[in-house]
């Protein structure tokens, strides 16, 4: 028999042995949960990126908050490590969970319900951003969400919550009114600023370290004559020859509250690099075109802007939602855009996508007006960067072959170093939802780190919630 087939046989043998030997026996949990709960496996809880992803031995889909409590108590009692997901997008490499652990997937908790006056909305722990914007459109109200439909609403907000409405309504964490939370001992608490100021502070910025949010109440903003349910938004496409003009204009652009801007670098269908600037203006087309006159003045080769209803604002990012593949992402927070370092990053990216297997790798910049967020003091939540960071950059190496990991790493790190070298900050800062996982804790928790560490020891001393940028606990020196 050729050597090749022997090798394949050995691989199949070990894989069979591996998957057979390592699952979590959830029989005793079956009997505890309500009959609508579902017991699945990793195929029922797919993740956006397989790079550094957790490898749970079983997946539980609890049907009620009570089921979440029972699952946590069961896992703690049986010493089964667990982590929680809603959208499954978190790409950090901080997961240590293997096949002796379980995933708690909240996808059965996706209800979104508005109050009669439409000024409050209750969002289930597993709701996706698309669930929130769809319900908002139906009910005539806007909610501050992130800009990707497939991302879990609570996941996006518990890290900070940056999106198109940041300029007008502040960060996602600023719009939280209360949270139903299952804590490390399996108890359930309604956490508000009044009932539990410490937890309310910690959850809004470092949530996954402290509990499982099974639902949360957010402020919502009724659509009316002074609050349109539409925006002027869409993609302006530029050529690489226009890159320096685009960078110069963005670096000199001051965004007012109705504005938001993102820039993506990606290869087009013909393999040509495109500079795509997505403009967003919560208002009329005329006002939007005037606000973005400097960008339009460069002369985009394509203009895909138009008046778009609330539930379609995130349509431009839909293609980035596909699950699976390897997508390590290096993120950097910045106070400004430095054209020279961005040009250097462009060269790094252009070289990366020139390698076979990396063609779909991309660079993303999000810029938001932070004035409204900055009306609140830095200590109003554990999100630490509202007064310093306004530009959020990331590079995603997208490929499938694990043997390309080392090459992806070298390009990602190079881009990150270039951005950080001109980030305009006293301390490097990375939005936790954009970070890779190899950053030190000060880079993701900033000025909040000390108080977070103290609260971690109080609320989760055994480190049950230890998969997402884990804060140190008593047992872990
Ligand atoms: C997950 O469960 C399904 C249905 O029970 C099964 O067909 C599939 O092979 C399992 N997948 C894994 C990765 O274990
Ligand atoms: C939430 O959105 C997903 C994806 O679009 C959809 O499949 C699901 O039915 C929605 N759930 C609810 C409760 O609206
Ligand atoms: C920067 O913007 C200001 C007004 O916003 C304008 O007067 C100035 O010419 C711009 N500078 C450059 C280099 O584009």
Residue nearest to atom 6 of ligand 2 (CA): 131
Asked if the model's pLDDT at residue 10 lies above 90, the reply is: no
Residue 473: the pLDDT is 83
Residue 352 is given by DSSP the state H
Question: Nearest CA to 44 among 88, 99, 89?
Answer: 88
Distance CA 102, CA 110 (A): 20
pLDDT band at 7 (very low <50, low <70, confident <90, very high): very low
**What ligand 1 atom has the least distance to the C-alpha of 42?**
13
pLDDT in tens, 383-435: 999 999 999 999 999 999 999 999 999 999 999 999 999 999 999 999 999 99
Instruction: Please give the distance, rounded to the nearest whole angstrom, from the Cα atom of residue 470 to the centre of ligand 1.
Output: 30
Atom nearest to 127 CA in ligand 2 = 1
| Per-residue model confidence as pLDDT tens digits over 165-208 | 999 999 999 999 999 999 999 999 999 999 999 999 999 999 99
* Whole-number pLDDT of residue 269: 86
Task: Output the CA angle 81-86-89, nearest 5 degrees.
Answer: 95
Distance (Å, whole) CA 222 – CA 333: 32
- Of the bound ligands, which one is closest to the alpha carbon of residue 244? 3
Rounded distance between C-alpha atoms, residue 182 and residue 66, angstroms: 9
pLDDT at 13 exceeding the cut of 60: no
Mean pLDDT over 249-254 rounds to 98
Is the predicted pLDDT of residue 14 greater than 90, yes or no? no
pLDDT of the residue at 366: 98
Residue 272 to residues 66, 192, 257, 316, 362: CA-CA distances in angstroms? 52, 51, 34, 19, 13
Q: Domains in the chain, start-ordered, CATH in brackets?
A: 3-105 (3.30.43.10), 112-224 (3.30.465.10), 230-444 (3.40.462.20)
Residue 475 has what pLDDT? 55
Which two structure tokens, joined as six digits, stand for 211?
Answer: 């509990």
Residue nearest to atom 10 of ligand 2 (CA): 131
What is the Cα–Cα distance from 31 to 44, expressed in whole angstroms? 20
Quickly state the pLDDT bin for 21 (edges 50, 70, 90). low
What was the pLDDT predicted at 322? 95
Tens-digit pLDDT profile for residues 268-313: 988 999 999 999 999 999 999 999 999 999 999 999 999 999 999 9
Mean of pLDDT over the chain: 95
- CB of 151 closer than 6 angstroms to any ligand 2 atom: no
Q: Given this model, what pLDDT does residue 80 score?
A: 97
Report the DSSP beta bridge partners of residue 141. Answer: 222
Residue 5 clears pLDDT 90, i.e. is over it: no
Model confidence pLDDT, tens digit, residues 26-43? 999 999 999 999 999 999
Model pTM score? 0.94
Q: pLDDT digits over 73-99, tens only?
A: 999 999 999 999 999 999 999 999 999
CB of 42 sitting under 6 A from ligand 1: yes
- Per-residue pLDDT for 12 more than 70? no
pLDDT at 3: 46
| Dist. CA 445 → ligand 1 center (Å) | 38
Instruction: Decide if 288 contacts 279 (C-beta within 8 A).
Output: yes
Residue 323, Cβ density class (10 Å: 0-12 exposed, 13-18 middle, ≥19 buried): middle
Q: Which helix (H) or strand (E) holds 280?
A: strand 273-281
Instruction: Please tell me the predicted confidence (pLDDT) of residue 2.
Output: 44
Tokens at residue 311, please? 């539930």
* Residue-level pLDDT at 158: 96
- Give Cα 352 to chain centroid, integer Å: 24
User: Is the CB–ligand 2 distance for residue 102 below 6 Å?
Assistant: no
Separation CA 11–CA 32 (nearest Å): 38
């Amino acid at each position: 028999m050729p050597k090749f087939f022997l090798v394949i046989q050995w691989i199949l043998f070990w894989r069979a042995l591996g998957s057979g030997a390592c699952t979590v026996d959830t029989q005793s949990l079956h009997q505890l949960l309500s009959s609508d709960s579902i017991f699945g496996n990793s195929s029922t809880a797919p993740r956006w990126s397989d790079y550094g992803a957790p490898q749970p031995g079983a997946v539980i889909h609890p049907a009620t908050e009570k089921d979440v409590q029972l699952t946590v108590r069961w896992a703690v009692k049986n010493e089964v490590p667990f982590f929680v997901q809603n959208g499954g997008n978190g790409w950090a490499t901080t997961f240590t969970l293997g096949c002796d652990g379980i995933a708690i997937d909240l996808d059965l908790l996706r209800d979104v319900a508005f109050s009669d006056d439409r000024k409050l909305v209750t969002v289930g722990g597993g709701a996706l951003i698309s669930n929130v914007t769809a319900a908002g459109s139906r009910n005539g109200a806007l909610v501050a969400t992130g800009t990707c439909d497939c991302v879990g609403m609570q996941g996006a907000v518990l890290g900070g919550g940056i999106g198109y409405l940041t300029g007008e309504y502040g960060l996602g964490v600023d719009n939280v009114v209360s949270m139903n939370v299952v804590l490390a001992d399996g108890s359930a608490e309604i956490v508000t600023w009044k009932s539990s100021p410490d937890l309310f502070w910690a959850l809004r910025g470092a949530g996954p370290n402290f509990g499982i949010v099974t639902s949360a109440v957010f402020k919502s903003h009724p659509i009316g004559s002074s609050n349109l349910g539409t925006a002027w938004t869409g993609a302006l496409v530029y050529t690489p020859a226009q890159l320096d003009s685009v960078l110069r204009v963005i670096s000199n652009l001051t965004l007012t509250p109705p504005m938001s801007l993102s820039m993506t670098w990606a290869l087009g269908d013909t393999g040509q690099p495109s500079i795509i600037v997505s403009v967003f203006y919560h208002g009329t087309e005329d006002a939007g075109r005037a606000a973005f006159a400097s960008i339009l003045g460069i002369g985009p080769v394509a203009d895909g802007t138009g008046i778009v209803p609330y539930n379609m604002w995130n349509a431009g990012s839909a293609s980035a939602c596909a699950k699976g593949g390897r997508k390590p992402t290096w993120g950097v927070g910045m106070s400004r855009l430095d054209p020279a370092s961005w040009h250097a990053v462009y060269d790094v990216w252009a070289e990366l996508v020139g390698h076979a297997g990396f063609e779909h790798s991309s660079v993303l910049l999000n810029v938001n007006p932070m004035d409204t967020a900055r009306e609140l003091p830095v200590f109003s939540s554990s999100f630490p960067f509202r007064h310093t960071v306004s530009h959020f950059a990331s590079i995603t190496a997208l490929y499938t072959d694990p043997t390309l990991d080392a090459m992806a790493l070298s390009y990602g790190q190079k881009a990150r170093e270039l951005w950080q070298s001109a980030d305009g900050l006293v301390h490097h800062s990375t939005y936790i939802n954009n970070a890779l996982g190899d950053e030190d804790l000060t880079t993701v928790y900033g000025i909040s780190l000390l108080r977070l560490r103290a609260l971690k020891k109080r609320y989760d001393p055994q480190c049950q919630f230890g998969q997402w940028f884990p804060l140190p606990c008593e047992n872990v020196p």
